[in-house]
Amino acid sequence: MPQQISRFAAPLVLVSMLVAAPATAKDKEPPARPAQIQELYACRDIADPTARLACFDREVGELSQADQAREIVFTDKETAKKTRRGLFGFSFPKLGGIFGGDDDEIKEIDTVIRSVSVDRSGKYTLVMEDDAVWTQIDTTALPRQPKPGQKIHIKTATMGSYFATIEGGRAIRLKRDR
């Protein structure tokens, strides 16, 4: 009986993988541009120079109004990277590339400890120079207590946690609180 089940299970797994492949490919598509940007780009296709200029003037004016009303937000790649770095450690759904693409995903950071506290169970809470607060979630004892000014390397671990090494020492598991 178990041999019959495995004979059917393998093709079923293969079919489910093939069905899932188009869904993952769809996730890789770039996000749709805002309507204001598409309308501005459409002006390039107008052959008559006077009509094209009028289109650009109109669409840039509407884009400016949308910007002033905060209906649309502009950013550059460097600002998006700083934002992603500041959000490192928080779990967010995919936001359609709003802070850059998946290729730009940050998997580790280097920062400096600003303050350290220890709770009753001996676990550390570390506040970083950028005001990020990280809390130890394992019971690993460090040979030396972390101190303000020390460099810390934090990298993605499993199940929503992160590994941190303070100045190359023993790794502890952390989670980001704020």
Task: Give the pLDDT of residue 32.
Answer: 72
Using CA atoms, how far residue 149 sits from 16, 56, 68, 112, 175, in Å, is 51, 52, 41, 6, 20
pLDDT at position 137 over 60: yes
Cβ atoms 134, 154 nearer than 8 A: yes
Cβ-count burial 48-58 (b if 16+ within 10 Å, e if not)? eeeeeeebeee
How many CB atoms lie under 10 A from the CB of residue 36?
18
Question: 78-136, pLDDT tens digit by residue?
Answer: 777 676 666 666 655 555 555 555 556 778 889 999 999 999 988 999 999 988 899 99
What 3-state DSSP class applies to 131? coil
Cβ atoms 116, 125 nearer than 8 A: yes
Task: Give the pLDDT of residue 89.
Answer: 66
| DSSP-assigned beta bridge partners for residue 154 | 109, 164
Q: In the chain, what percentage of residues exceed pLDDT 90?
A: 30
Question: 159-175, pLDDT tens digit by residue?
Answer: 778 899 999 888 999 98
